[in-house]
Amino acid sequence: MDFLPPDLTAYAEAHTSPESDLLARLNRNTRAQVIAPRMLSGQLQGRFLSMISWMIRPRRVLEIGTYTGYSALCLAEGLTDDGQLITLEQNEELEDFARAYWRQSPLGHRIELRIGNAVDLIPAIDETFDLVFIDADKRNLSIYFELVFNKIRPGGFLLADNVLWSGKVIEPVKPADEDTRAVVAFNQKIQDDPRVDNVLLPIRDGIMLARKR
């Protein structure tokens, strides 16, 4: 997942605004107590998500894939005064963990968690979003994109995480595993879609940033 040499990664982090104390505790305790802590956004990506949110000042944000709630807190930072973030998570066992940290944040009341399969939940959401962040299972990336696209306002933005997939997207032979094939197909789908302008950012494990025309 880390493509830069460790000393350059450390330099980038040292020249990026630090996490809040709350986010640092959430970061640390996720790594100590929860399975697959690499799924956590962390300081560098978290500050990027916060910066994007502050730039857009969204009124409505949709997040697909909550994990322990770190990225939701980061994205909530730039919400308008009447803004709300809806986050979808399939693993109900993570709910109490995430909520425990949201309750400690002044932004916690802006976050609405919905538990279930995103493929089932998204069609029932009657909102128009300024920003969507997809950070869930990779096999359904393209499905999530199509499900949310008509719910994004013209000029709105979509972010998708892990689009470099630990470098597997440039394997010299056709990827053998389904997840990698799904990420490669998603990246090409976005590149070929005339409805969006896009840039693939080599931040951490890769973030696709797309703007709906």
**pLDDT tens digits, 104-161:** 999 999 999 999 999 999 999 999 999 999 999 999 999 999 999 999 999 999 999 9
Report if residue 16 sits inside a domain: yes
**Domain for residue 69, yes or no?**
yes
Domain containing residue 153: CATH number: 3.40.50.150
Res. 83: pLDDT tops 80: yes
Q: Is residue 53 part of a domain?
A: yes
In a domain, 122, yes or no: yes
Q: How many residues does the chain have?
A: 213
Does residue 167 belong to any structural domain of this protein? yes
* Cα–chain center distance at 118: 14
Query: How far, in Å, CA of 203 to CA of 2, rounded?
Result: 9
**For residue 106, with 0-12 CB atoms within 10 Å meaning exposed, 13-18 middle and 19 or more buried, which class applies?**
exposed
Q: Model-level pTM greater than 0.85?
A: yes
The predicted structure's pLDDT at residue 171: 83
Cα separation of 61 and 79, whole Å?
8
Q: What is the pLDDT of residue 131?
A: 99
| 159 or 171: which leads in pLDDT | 159
pLDDT in tens, 182-211: 999 999 999 999 999 999 999 999 999 999
Q: Residue 15 pLDDT > 90, yes or no?
A: yes
The answer as to whether 47 is a domain residue is yes
Indicate whether 1 belongs to any domain. no
Q: Which domain holds residue 198?
A: 6-212
Kindly report the average pLDDT of the chain as a whole number: 95
pLDDT for 1 beyond 70: no
pLDDT tens digits for 35-65?
A: 888 889 999 999 999 999 999 999 999 999 9
- H-state helical runs in the chain: 6-14, 21-33, 42-56, 70-76, 95-102, 118-121, 141-149, 178-192
Q: How many CB atoms lie within 10 A of CB 159?
A: 22
Specify the number of domains making up the chain. Answer: 1
